Amino acid sequence: MWVEILCGIVVYKIFRRFLLGEVEVPDFDAGSSNLYFAVASRLEKIYGGKAYVGLRIPDPETSSRQHIDVVLVTKREVMVVAVRNFSGFVLVGDGGDWVCTKDKKHKPETFPDPVLETARQVEVLQSYLELRGVSLPKGCLSAKVILPNPECRPAYSIAFQPEVVSFDKWVGLKSDVKPGIFSWIKDVFPGSKCEAQDDCFQKLHFILNTAPKWDRLEFIGDKSLLGEFIEFIGKPEDLQALRHVNRSEVGQFIVQKPSLFGLGRSRLNIIYSPRDFRGDAASPLEWNDIAVKPYTEILFQPLNSKKPRKFKLSNIASVSLSA
């Protein structure tokens, strides 16, 4: 009986994998990465504009890169957003840090004050934009700390800070901005024509689109993971074929599924185009492809993880590499 059950499971998996084209998504914790993208998507729907996720802005003061969860650009403001998935009671500790207590079974956790962290990120981002030729007027760069977890219960001293968006506020958040307002652009170019305002707006988008970011893995099933791509792992002949697929030459590559009935002899197609530092999308004629064995893997260091992980290319939809 057990043999029949096991055989049935194997046949079912083969049917899903090769006849239905389904691929099992690897089991991993992408909590923060998925949360960043979910928050960014909702902010775009509420305020319009464009959200940039997982920026790594150079910080001259510390000689390192400042991680920023989300930057939302609208024609009214530029919003720097910190997303904190805290759960339990959150209060301000003696040193100003935030202390999160889930329950009596868990030891309280201490985190740096996200409001102060985000204020620092605003300064770093503004300096970076000025270095690349866009000086924003005072007041158009704002900072927000979003607490989207329904189990998060912040103290009064936290919840009523103007920069903090608690879960209740997050659920009921609505835009109070009328369409067509160009407030910060008008401050940059007072009395200028719409063409000049649009040029400034487009330049800001270009800067953020080409700014350093975390690499991004997109898995089949709309699951994403931020971190750092390290290398391919596989047979020497496959690695030789993939030698040009690196961050200095390629900005993104797409993984196509193996052939329907290829089984062990099936191969994956890696579709890629040369990196364009102008930020323009590649034309169809510029895309190249490489065939590799389906068990080829990548080594990837997830964000907020101390240990790199291996992922099969057959489970991945695409990989975006930051310059």
- Where are the chain's structural domains? 48-210, 215-320
Chain centre to alpha carbon of residue 5: 41
Give me the phi and psi of 97, to 5 degrees please: -70, 165
pLDDT at 240 over 70: yes
Q: Report d(CA 265, CA 288) in Å as an integer.
A: 22
pLDDT at 239 over 80: yes
Look at 22 and 101; give whichever has higher pLDDT. Answer: 101
Q: State whether residue 172 is helix, strand or coil.
A: coil
Let me know: does 75 contact 204? Beta carbons within 8 Å.
Answer: no
What is the mean predicted confidence (pLDDT) over 270-286? 69
- Tell me the per-residue pLDDT of 194-223, one tens digit each, with 9 for 90 and over: 344 567 778 899 999 999 999 999 998 778
What is residue 61's DSSP assignment? T
Helices (H) then strands (E): counts for the chain: 8, 17
Helix axes 194-210, 114-131, angle to 10 degrees: 110
Question: What pLDDT score does 94 carry?
Answer: 85
Q: Which CATH class is domain 48-210?
A: alpha beta
Reading across the β-sheet that carries 98-101, which strands appear in turn? 109-111, 98-101, 88-92, 152-154
What is the mean predicted confidence (pLDDT) over 79-94? 94
> Percent of the chain at pLDDT above 90?
53
Give me the phi and psi of 223, to 5 degrees please: -115, 130
State the average pLDDT for the chain. Answer: 81
pLDDT band (50, 70, 90) for residue 166: very high
Question: What pLDDT score does 98 carry?
Answer: 96
Q: Which of 130, 122, 88, 133 is nearest to 106 (CA)?
A: 88
pTM of this structure: 0.80
H-run or E-run covering 319 = strand 316-320
Side-chain half-sphere CA neighbours of 138 within 13 A: 0
Question: What pLDDT score does 89 carry?
Answer: 95
pLDDT at 30 over 90: no
Question: What pLDDT score does 306 carry?
Answer: 86
What is the mean predicted confidence (pLDDT) over 250-265? 70
